């Protein structure tokens, strides 16, 4: 089943990933990404139905600590790199 | 020499900065120097020596750090415009460990943006040049770290390896670079690209120096829940460089059709040398390796699309002010802040994780990953290590592959299996082809860095490539 990363799909991905591309970039990326995807399709040949999905190579799961408060970054340090602040709040762009 | 009081740490550090001043303009290995902090630390070390205080294992040693590892209050950018000006309020765990052992961080090294690349050409700060031939790439993404070590601008460096990013530049620059077993070294303070694949690792001129730095940075960390302590502690005594009875597997898929025959020849010379020293080898086949590169890239790009979603100009870094809502700010900030390769990978990762394609690409890649891991482990039941070239070719020319991303990805064909499986793998210099370095890769079982270092040391003793110094000119 052929999937083409045409310009329309690239623009959709651009919107999903919030990555603005120029028209030039949309065109170039459409060509480059299609070629790469064609290579990725080699995975269609791999027979893996019975295989378990692993998210961690060491088999680690649920690595938790006790729910005890510990010292951590103070607000001043944590917010030092924030471009637009109001007191101890981060000012984010308008949502609605 | 510093420890014995023959040379003061402060003088040693100045000697290196002097050399950096002369060579770095040609190589662009360092993108930031931390002279103030380094001299302060050097003075502390000198004071300890004078007072007979306890000195750490890295006392007085200048260390270069890849620009994706956090050093408190020092600008770190992942060689990207989008993180310009970011100063982390904390040290990476590996930096804490280095400082505790009196190591001296002297500066940040150049890299492919967000560690995405195999040539260090994708940097906001321009490419790093290969010290052996200035018109060639240094490899990537830890190109700056490998170049600075080989050009003697620092004795030790830290890199990170997600799909070969330590081993590739080590091979291209004739250095020793190790990707540790996944989970051996804490990723706390490593700015994430693909969390299930990457590790911080040491780059040095010699096997012994590489092992020294690894011993300092390794260890389980409560701040990184994907780490565990090595079941068998790394023991220097057991790395003797003796290979009698060691069984080497030579995987034919890692000498695939893209491999330059001259590279193959250098690697085979070393395999034969190991045989003369008492090891034995057998050619094996690992069929799933033909899917490894595709599986690696799908997983890495998918994880990257998630990890890089945080760069939106709101909490740190570069930001474009626009009229309108959050969507417009994010689109513009990320559009202008990220370079082309980063954008490509985020888009493909977004695609691979999106509804309708997730099963065919991301999930499939995860399953292939398990198959690759199991096949490698199965080979390693019968053999101690797997040997191969690190890179299929000698270092290529600058700009040669930049316009053709797929041709660049194909460079990683021999290195990605170790990341997929989480196995330790080292690259050591094994020869030169027309003056350009060739690296040999040794891959071992989980937490068997000692086996990997052992074979590496045996070869190094015979080949002595650390004696060759590039004439940077």
Q: Note the ipTM here.
A: 0.96
B141 catalytic? Reply is yes
| Residues whose CB falls within 8 Å of the CB of residue B4, separated by 6 or more in sequence, listed in order | none
Closest Cα in chain A, distance from residue B370 (Å): 7
B66 catalytic? Reply is yes
Q: Does B183 touch chain A (CB under 8 A)?
A: yes
Pairwise CA distance, residues B178 & B170, whole Å: 9
Minimum Cα–Cα distance from A14: chain B residue: B347
Residue B81 per-residue DSSP state: G
Q: What is the pLDDT of residues B218-229, one digit of tens each?
A: 999 999 999 998
Which residue among B123, B133, B160, B165 is the active-site one? B165
Res. A50: pLDDT tops 90: no
Which residue among B41, B48, B66, B179 is the active-site one? B66
DSSP per residue, B339-367: -HHHHHHHHHHHHHHSTTTTIIIIIHHHH
Closest CA to B207 of B436, B427, B32, B470: B427
Q: What is the pLDDT of residue B3?
A: 65
Q: Does A20 touch chain B (CB under 8 A)?
A: yes
Q: Does A47 touch chain B (CB under 8 A)?
A: no
Q: Is the pTM of this model over 0.95?
A: yes
Q: Does A16 touch chain B (CB under 8 A)?
A: yes
Q: What is the pLDDT of residue A55?
A: 84
Res. B197: pLDDT tops 70: yes
Buried b (16+ CB within 10 A) or exposed e, B41-68: bbebbbebbeeeeeebbbbbbbbbbbbb
Q: What is the pLDDT of residue B380?
A: 98
Cα torsion angle, B309, B313, B317, B319, sign: positive
Res. B389: pLDDT tops 60: yes
Pairwise CA distance, residues B287 & B263, whole Å: 22
Pairwise CA distance, residues B30 & B62, whole Å: 13
CA dihedral B64, B69, B71, B77 (to 10 degrees): 100
Q: Does A93 touch chain B (CB under 8 A)?
A: yes
Pairwise CA distance, residues B144 & B127, whole Å: 9
Pairwise CA distance, residues B137 & B127, whole Å: 8
| pLDDT (mean) for B14-40 | 98
CB B57 within 8 A of CB B216: yes
B89, B367, B368 member nearest A80 (Cβ): B89
B182, B305, B319 member nearest A57 (Cβ): B182
Q: What is the pLDDT of residues B282-333, one digit of tens each?
A: 999 999 999 999 999 999 999 999 999 999 999 999 999 888 889 999 999 9
Closest Cα in chain B, distance from residue A25 (Å): 9
Q: Do B326 and A32 touch (CB under 8 A)?
A: no
Averaged pLDDT of chain B: 96
| pLDDT (mean) for B437-466 | 97
């Amino acid at each position: 089943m052929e999937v083409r990363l045409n310009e329309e799909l690239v623009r959709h991905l651009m919107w999903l990933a919030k990555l603005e591309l120029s028209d030039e970039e949309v065109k170039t990326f459409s060509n480059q990404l299609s070629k790469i995807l064609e290579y990725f399709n080699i995975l269609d040949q791999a027979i893996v139905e019975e295989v378990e999905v692993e998210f961690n190579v060491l088999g680690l799961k649920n690595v938790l600590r006790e729910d005890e408060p510990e010292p951590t970054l103070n607000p001043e340090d944590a917010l030092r790199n924030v471009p637009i602040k109001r007191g101890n709040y981060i000012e984010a762009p308008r949502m609605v | 020499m510093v420890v014995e009081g023959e040379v003061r740490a402060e003088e040693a550090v100045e000697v290196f900065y002097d050399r950096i001043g002369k060579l770095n303009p040609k190589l662009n290995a360092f993108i930031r120097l931390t002279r103030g902090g380094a001299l302060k630390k050097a003075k502390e070390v000198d004071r300890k020596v004078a007072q007979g205080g306890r000195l750490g294992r890295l006392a007085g040693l200048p260390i270069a750090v890849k620009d994706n590892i956090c050093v408190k209050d020092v600008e770190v950018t992942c060689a990207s415009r989008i993180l310009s000006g970011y100063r982390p309020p904390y040290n990476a765990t590996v930096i804490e460990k280095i400082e505790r052992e009196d190591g001296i961080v002297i500066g940040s090294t150049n890299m492919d943006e967000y560690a995405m690349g195999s040539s260090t050409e994708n940097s906001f700060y321009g490419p790093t040049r290969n010290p052996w031939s200035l018109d060639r790439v240094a490899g990537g993404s830890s190109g700056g770290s490998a170049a600075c070590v080989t050009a003697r601008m620092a004795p030790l460096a830290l890199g990170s390896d997600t799909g070969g990013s330590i081993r590739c530049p080590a091979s291209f620059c004739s250095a020793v670079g190790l990707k540790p077993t996944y989970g051996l070294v804490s990723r706390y303070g490593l700015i994430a690209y693909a969390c299930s694949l990457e590790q911080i690792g040491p780059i040095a001129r010699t096997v012994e120096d590489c092992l020294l730095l690894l011993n300092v940075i390794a260890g389980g960390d409560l701040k990184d829940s994907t780490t565990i302590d090595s079941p068998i502690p790394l023991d220097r005594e057991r790395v003797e460089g003796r290979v009698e009875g060691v069984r080497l597997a030579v995987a034919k898929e890692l000498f695939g059709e893209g491999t330059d025959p001259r590279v193959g020849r250098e690697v085979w010379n070393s395999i034969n040398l190991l045989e003369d020293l008492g090891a034995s080898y057998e050619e094996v086949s690992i069929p799933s390796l033909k899917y490894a590169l595709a599986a690696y890239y799908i997983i890495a790009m998918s994880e990257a699309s998630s990890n890089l979603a945080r760069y939106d100009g709101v909490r740190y870094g570069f930001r474009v002010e626009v009229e309108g809502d959050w969507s417009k700010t994010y689109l513009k900030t990320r559009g202008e802040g990220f370079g082309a390769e980063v954008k490509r990978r985020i888009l493909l990762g977004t695609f691979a994780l999106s509804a309708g394609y997730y099963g065919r690409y991301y999930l499939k890649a995860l399953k292939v990953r398990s198959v690759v891991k199991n096949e490698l482990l199965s080979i390693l039941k019968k053999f101690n290590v797997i040997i191969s070239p690190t890179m299929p070719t000698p270092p290529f020319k600058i700009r040669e592959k930049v316009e053709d991303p797929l041709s660049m990805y194909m460079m990683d064909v021999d290195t990605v299996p170790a990341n997929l499986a989480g196995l330790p793998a080292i690259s050591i210099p094994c020869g030169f082809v027309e003056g350009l370095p060739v690296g040999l890769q040794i891959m071992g079982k989980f937490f068997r860095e000692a086996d990997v270092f052992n074979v590496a040391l045996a070869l190094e003793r015979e080949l002595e490539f650390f004696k060759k110094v590039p004439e940077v000119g």
